[in-house]
Every structure is written in structure tokens, then in C-alpha cells.
Structure 1
């Protein structure tokens, strides 16, 4: 009964079928018909003009997007718990040629205008200090919290007033849209680029960088090649992304994962560290309680000495979610 990560979930059958359908001779790199359809497909989803590049990992999506926004002497403002700070092995510094991350605070790993201003208040406008060039948020956050559309709009307004670009790490963007029950455009707000996560949501090996600025997309095409992410058989990545959008599969998968998390949260009660708004559940658990759950066959990650993280996926069986909920309640 696996709750380690949605990265561990199996590939959705529709994704496998799309890849099999793409398994025929076609133009290499991104010159195939499927890759050429991505801009239109995402533009329809977001209701605005999109320029889409496929890559193989979320780390590449985040860092290639940011590399178009930030010079080597600049900085990205992000939350202290942001994935680009905590879980990407220094990749932002590598892709951004040494640009710095400025860390800000905020409840449940969410930024707000006040915390962003506090983190940048002492930066002088001179050559002796790095200058902020972009703001990056994660939707849903690393603690499973959702930015409401008005919160994203407020951060976007701040970024515009400062002349910063605005990036969104959307590794679990589908879960956010499903949880907010709003349009993709409202969940993304005024961002310049979105890392649209698919692998956590049932894909095999494809993520999308969705640019809402054509100039940034043009820069990213060269940087993607230089970074080694221009795959020669890109049609297989494009096929996965298109299949995810087809008939809103991405939202159906996310709703299933969110529902499983809610099922667990309903029995965790006072153990919850954060409200459960997407597909991650953080619980207070002693070492003995963790051992008891693992003895019953539940897989999950420790979150420090006295807590644990449970992540549900598109294919989490309701019986397994109910079983975990009962086991936590019985501790």
C-alpha cells in the first residue's frame, strides 16, 4: 500500500496507448506533428496564447524556464521550502549560471507579498548585491497548500511593480486546479511561465514548460538544446502531454488523488500539520507509530523525527486509502 510519492505511481493506460500510437516514423526532435500541436492544445486549455516545450523532468522544466528570466548576476525569490531550493541538487545555480535564490517565509510553504518584500527589503540597488529578477511559487505548495487565485494575482501584481518575471512550479498543478475547482487560467494567474507537471499525474517521462511570453519561449528553445533536453524522438513526449489534456484526463487523475488524500485526512484529525487541499497529507506520528503503520504494509516517507508524509496518486485504490485512514485513527 504505497504512499511514498505520486512519482511512484504507474503510468496511466491512456498514456501508454498514446505512446504506442506515436510509434511510427516521423520527423525528429520537435518537428513531428504531435509536438507541433502542443501550442494549440495548451492555448485552448488556458484560454490564452501558449508556447509549449516538452522536457523530461520537472527539474529541467523549472530551471530552463527560470534561465530565460534571470541573468547570472540576478536572483530568484522563492519560499524557503521551495523545491528549487530543497530538492533540485543545485540545478538552479547550474542552469542559471550562478544566479542566487533569495529565500522568503510563509505559512504552509506559501509566499505572500509581505514575506517577499521582507526578504528583499535590505537589498541595495547597486552592483555589490544580486538583484531580484524573478519570483517563483509552487502550486500546490510543497506542503500541499493551494494558492487562491487572488493570492496569485497579488503576487503577480507585486512582481510586475518591481519589474520581476513570475514563474510557477506546477509539479502538482493538476491537483491545485482540481482542488480549487477553478479554471487553469485562474490557478496560474499572471505568470510568465508554468512548469506543467504530468509525471506525478500519470505520465511516464514528459513535463511541459508553458510559456505565456513568446520571447521567453524562443530563448528556451536554444537553452533546451544546450542543456541536453532536446530529445531526438520528441513525439513520444508530445504524445503523453496531448493524451493528458485529452478529455481532461489530467483533471480526472488529479481529482482521484485529491479524493484519496481527503479520505485519509478525515480520520487523521488533530494529527494534521497542514490543511489537506491537494494530494499530500502531513501527520504527527511518533517513531513507534510509524513502525506500526509500516508493519501493516503502508509505505511513506518520514518528515523529521515526529511526522510523516503520505502522498496519494491517480491510481490510489479507495480501499488502500480507507485502510490507511483506519490505521491512523486506531493508533
Structure 2
């Protein structure tokens, strides 16, 4: 009964079907008909003009998006627990040619305008200090917290006032949309670029960079090639994204994962470290309690000395979620 990560989940059958359907000769790179159809499909989903580039990893999606907004001498304001700071092996510095991450605080790994201002206001406007060029937020956050539309709007207002780009790491964007029960456009807000995650949500090897400013996509196409992410058979990546969007598979998958997380959360009580607003749970557990859970067959990651992280997935079985809930309640 695995709750290690939604990255460990299997691939949705619709994705396999789409890959088989795409397995015919077509133009290479992103010149195929399947890739060409992404802009219109994603634009219809968000209700505004979008330009979409596929890449193979979330790290590439985040960094290539930010590279269109940030010069090597600039900086990106992000949360101190942001994936680009903690879990991407220095990739932002690599893709952004040395640009700096400017770290801010916030409960639940979420940023607020005051926290952003606390970072950028003390920076002198001269060549001796790194100047902020962009803000990056994560929807849902690294602690499974979802930004409400008004929270994203407030950050976007600040970004526009300060002349900063705004990027959203949406590795679990689907889970946030499902939790908020709003439109994708409302969950994304007025950001410049969104890393729309599919791999954690039933995809295999495709993520989408959604540019709401098509001019940024023109820059990103060159950077994608230079970074080694312009795959020669790109239709197989595009096909995965189409499969997830067709019939709202992406949203149904996220709802399944969120429902399993809610089932487990109902048994955690005061053990919960953060409100459960997506498909991640952070739970206070002693080392002995974690050992007891593992002895019952549950897989998960330790989170520091006295906590555990449980992540549900699109295909988490109801009986497994219920069993974990009962096991935690019985500790």
C-alpha cells in the first residue's frame, strides 16, 4: 500500500491508448499535427490565448519558463521550501545562467505580497545587488496548500506594479483545481506562465509549459532546443497531454487522489501539520509509530525526525486509503 509519491503511480490507460494512436509517421520535433493542436486545446481550457510547449520533466518546465523572464544577473522570488530551491539540484541556476533564487517565508509554503515585499524592498536599485525579475509560486504548494484565486490575483498585482514576471509551478495544479472547485483559469490567475503538470497525475513523460504571453513562447522554443528538450518524436509527448485533457481525465484523476487524501485526513486529527487541500498529507508521527505503520504494509517518506509524508495518487485504491486512515487512528 504505497503512499510514497504520486510520481510512483502507474500511467493512466488513456495515455497508453493515445501513445499507440500516435505511433504512425508524422513530422519530427514539434511540427506534427498532434503538437500543433495543443495551443487551441489549452486556450479553450483556459478561455484565453495560450502557447504551449511540451517538455519531459517538471524541472525543465519550471526552469525554461523562468528563463524567458529572468536575465543571468537577476533573481526569482520564491518560497524557501519551493521545489525550484529544494528539489531541483541547482537546475534554476543552470538554466538561468546563474540567476539567483531570492527566498521568502510563508505558512504552508505559500507566498503572500507582504512576504515578497520583505525580500525585494531592501534591494538597492544599483548594479551591486541582484535585482528581482520574477516571482514563482506553486499551485498546490509543496505542503499541499492551494492558493485561492484572490491570493494569486494579489501577487499578480504586486508583480505587475514592480515589473516582475509571474510563474506558477503547477506540478499538482490539477489537484488544486479539484480542491478549489473552480475553473483552471481562476486557479492559475493572471500569471505569465504555468508549468502544467501531468506526470504526477497519470501521465508518463510529458509536462506542458503554458505561456499566457505568446511572445514568451517564442523565446522558450529556442531555449528548449538549446537545453536538449526538443525531442525528435515530440508527438508522443503531445499525445499524452491531449489524452489527459480529453474528457477531463486530468480533473477526474485529481479528484480521485484528493478524495483518498481527504479520507486519510479525516482520521489524523491534531496530527496534521498542514490543512489538506490537495493530495499530500504531513502527519506528526514518532519513529516508533512510523515503524508500526510500515509493519502494516504502508509505504511513505519520513519528514524530519517526527513526521511522515503521505501522498495519494489518481489510482489510490479506496480500501488502501481507508486502511491507512484506520491505522493512523489506531496509533
CA distance in 2, matches of 1:16, 1:293: 34
Q: Deviations over 1:298-331 (max 9, x none)?
A: 0000000100000000000000000000000000
Number of residue pairs aligned between Structure 1 and Structure 2: 331
CA distance in 1, matches of 2:49, 2:258: 29
The correspondence of residues 48-127 of structure 1 with structure 2, limited to 5 A, is 48-127=48-127
TM-aligned CA deviation for residue 119 of structure 1: 1.3
Cα RMSD (Å) of the superposition? 0.4
Q: Does 1:194 align with 2:194?
A: yes
Q: Secondary structure at the match of 2:267?
A: helix
Q: Secondary structure at the match of 2:103?
A: strand
CA distance in 2, matches of 1:238, 1:325: 38
CA distance in 2, matches of 1:214, 1:266: 43
What residue number does 2:236 align with?
236
CA distance in 2, matches of 1:118, 1:50: 32
Q: Secondary structure at the match of 1:267?
A: coil
List structure 1 runs of 4+ shifted beyond 3 angstroms. Answer: none
TM-aligned CA deviation for residue 215 of structure 1: 1.1
The correspondence of residues 1-331 of structure 1 with structure 2, limited to 5 A, is 1-331=1-331
CA distance in 2, matches of 1:30, 1:115: 40
CA distance in 1, matches of 2:19, 2:294: 36
* Structure 1 residues not aligned, in runs of 5+: none
CA distance in 2, matches of 1:214, 1:265: 40
Q: Secondary structure at the match of 1:75?
A: strand
CA distance in 2, matches of 1:207, 1:299: 26
TM-aligned CA deviation for residue 214 of structure 1: 1.2
Q: Deviations over 1:236-283 (max 9, x none)?
A: 000000011001100000000000000000001110000001000100
Q: Deviations over 1:45-66 (max 9, x none)?
A: 0000000000000000000000
TM-aligned CA deviation for residue 120 of structure 1: 1.5
TM-score where L is the length of structure 2: 1.00
TM-score where L is the length of structure 1: 1.00
CA distance in 1, matches of 2:58, 2:221: 16
Q: Secondary structure at the match of 1:89?
A: coil
Q: Secondary structure at the match of 2:266?
A: helix
TM-aligned CA deviation for residue 121 of structure 1: 2.1
Q: Deviations over 1:146-201 (max 9, x none)?
A: 00000000000000000000000000000000000000000000100000000000
